[in-house]
Structure 1
Amino acid sequence: MPSFIDFARNQYTHLPIPEPPANIKDATYIVTGANTGLGYECAKHLFHMGAKRIILAVRTPSKGEAALATIRSETGRKDVGEVWELDLTSLDSVEAFAQRVNKLDRLDAIIENAGVVMTKFQLVEGIETSVLVNVVSTMLLAFRVLPKLQESVGRFGIQTHLVIVSSNTSFQDNVKKHLEKLPGDIFDALSVKKSFNPLVQYPITKLLEIYAVHQLASLRPVSDTGVIINAQEHPKREAETSFKLFSPGLKAMARTVRSVKLKSTVPFLLLYPRDVPAWVTNETGKRTQKRVWDDLLKRLESLGHGVDIEALTTES
């Protein structure tokens, strides 16, 4: 992690906006958690860039429709955009959403931005809510839409993207130590009320997410599939609860999306992928990565949402 001075200085780094891909006018994109925050800004930017089809995946359709109406008004693209329901607290909702995705003619990218910060302990399907939403459901969706991304590569001769939005708050030493001390099954250990710590729970879910994405990308390399799979430790929007959790001082440093010319005032902090510590990718990190992966697949199987890894790892 950078020093605090470097971290504060980074908030004022100039961030140029890259040019859109040449084929974006034919492209289909999905953004989860698209009714608010950077998910909303991402969707709006895709409108500005001229993408043909943009799907806002949201938990509450009415909020999605309101967001879509605003985006259409601001971009002048009145006939573009769709709202699809996706509730990451329900694995059945994830499966239904994925089935709908697989009926699309084409998918260029899915940006899995949706996530949750929990200040109070709550179980859903026997799993602590932030672990379910940020890790289990997010990865299940990744597994289920990967075939459509691969199909689109072959059918349209394009390179597609599976992007899972993470955070390098997960790279704090106390998060690493907390994960290393968890006994037995990781998902069981993180779903015990007496050990729930809101200051650690969110970052550790993001660390589990990063390990899972790294493992998936190692099994399905872009050289084989044409699908770029990555966890993006991006300029993370700090929700009001997140600011309260981590530090009120962070809000004072947060810049706005307007400052990088995306025409909005959503606060976020700049967190850089170059700060990935060695312990994430070294031999110890690889063992932890395999542990996370095995426990994740075991949990999905036990919940009736198993993943055929052999099918995922067979070249198309």
Structure 2
Amino acid sequence: MPKITKFVRDQYTTLPVPQPPADMASATYIVTGANSGLGLECAKHLVRMGARRVIMAVRSRSKGETALSAIRSATGRPHAGEVWELDLASPDSVEAFARRVDALDRLDGLIANAGVAMSTFELVGGMETTVMVNVISTMLLAFRTLPKLSEWARRGGKLTNLVIVSSNTALEPELEQKVASLRGDVFDALSVKEGFAPFDQYPMTKLLEIFAVRQLASIIPVSTSGVVVNTVNPGLCYSDLDRNLGTMARLGMAVTRRVLARTSEQGSRTLLHAAFAGPESYGAYCSECQVKESDIPAWITSAVGKSMQKRVWTDLLKRLESIGHGVDIEALAAK
């Protein structure tokens, strides 16, 4: 965790509710993991702000419909919102979801909020579950929705937004040596049971997200894509992120949250800020409803850090190709 005094100060920062874009009444947004916690509150804000379409991407349709019913009741918009199924443990599910996205008439923003933290080692598709969900499938979703976001940016004459929800735990100084010590393919190294450490794995996946987004931004400038790509830290919030952790870990989280946590609604404001942010946030790290590149440690921005960034990127593209979900980055850059 970042330096404790800064962390506490950040947690107690008053967060504003960001002002929506002027064309909100005709806008379309997608929020993943929208049936609970931050995703639910973010979707609720978007509905309350008057967005024409708010697509709640969820693994469980029944839970999604229950959440949507609650949002409609809370906002007084009985016909707002829709539920689409998305299982980030399955790249095939991501592809099916992306085909539906491709049929949309417009897309103003994707808020990739869904993620997991695991206390036990589990493989899915040959990769550790946290790695698959938080990095492989999340970035695949980003790659597959980027063309639609770019298309609307051109047709609509406005910037669109692609937000990857990360975490300040990714900036822990201990991760510098841990990521540098990974041997061979990054994703193989993080999918070995003997090396699995629950309290390291989640922050590591959030760090890989930051590396991937920064590399994507370095390859495809916002002037070419029209899409503002960024990462956001919602801070410590009340949520069900710890649902897959062990009893003692959940107890520890409960105690910490009682003292320091934001509500899910407060945390969701940071997601909205990133989703409405302009080119000043391109490739950047956002936190406390601000662009906070100053929070990114030197070991990430240094020459060594950029080398690791490229390594993560290369391994990511190779992995997607090897599992049958390759990405043509040159084609994306040309759009």
Same-fold status (TM-score > 0.5): yes
Q: After superposing the two structures, state which structure 1 stretch, 11-20 or 27-36, moved more.
A: 11-20
CA distance in 2, matches of 1:259, 1:282: 33
Percent identity of the aligned residues? Answer: 58
List aligned pairs for 1:35-114, cutoff 5 A. 35-114=35-114
RMSD over equivalenced CA pairs, Å:
2.1
CA distance in 2, matches of 1:246, 1:19: 35
Q: Does 1:244 align with 2:242?
A: no
CA shift at 1:66, angstroms? 0.3
Aligned residues: 309
Q: Given residue 256 of structure 1, which amino acid in structure 2 is its aligned partner?
A: T
Q: Which residue of 1 aligns with 2:306?
A: 286
CA distance in 1, matches of 2:96, 2:325: 12
CA distance in 2, matches of 1:294, 1:9: 37
Q: Given residue 15 of structure 2, which amino acid in structure 1 is its aligned partner?
A: L
The TM-score with structure 2 as length reference comes to 0.87
Superposed CA offset, 1:145-180 (max 9, x none): 100001001111121001010001011122221111
Q: Does 1:304 align with 2:324?
A: yes
CA distance in 1, matches of 2:110, 2:148: 10
Superposed CA offset, 1:36-95 (max 9, x none): 110111000001111010000000000000000000000000111100000000000000
CA shift at 1:133, angstroms? 0.2
The TM-score with structure 1 as length reference comes to 0.92
**Measured at CA, do residues 240 and 143 of structure 1 come closer, stay the same or move farther in structure 2, by a change above 3 Å?**
closer
CA distance in 1, matches of 2:187, 2:125: 12
CA distance in 2, matches of 1:43, 1:182: 37
CA distance in 2, matches of 1:65, 1:249: 31
Q: Does 1:256 align with 2:263?
A: yes
**Measured at CA, do residues 189 and 245 of structure 1 come closer, stay the same or move farther in structure 2, by a change above 3 Å?**
farther
Q: Which has the higher contact order (CA 8 A, sep 6+)?
A: 2
SS at match of 1:44: helix
Unaligned runs of 5+ in 1: 263-268
Q: Given residue 104 of structure 1, which amino acid in structure 2 is its aligned partner?
A: L
Q: Which residue of 1 aligns with 2:277?
A: none
SS at match of 1:164: strand
Contact 1:68–1:83 (CA under 8 A) maintained in structure 2: yes
Q: Which residue of 2 aligns with 1:266?
A: none
Q: Given residue 310 of structure 1, which amino acid in structure 2 is its aligned partner?
A: E
Unaligned runs of 5+ in 2: 270-286
CA distance in 2, matches of 1:247, 1:270: 21
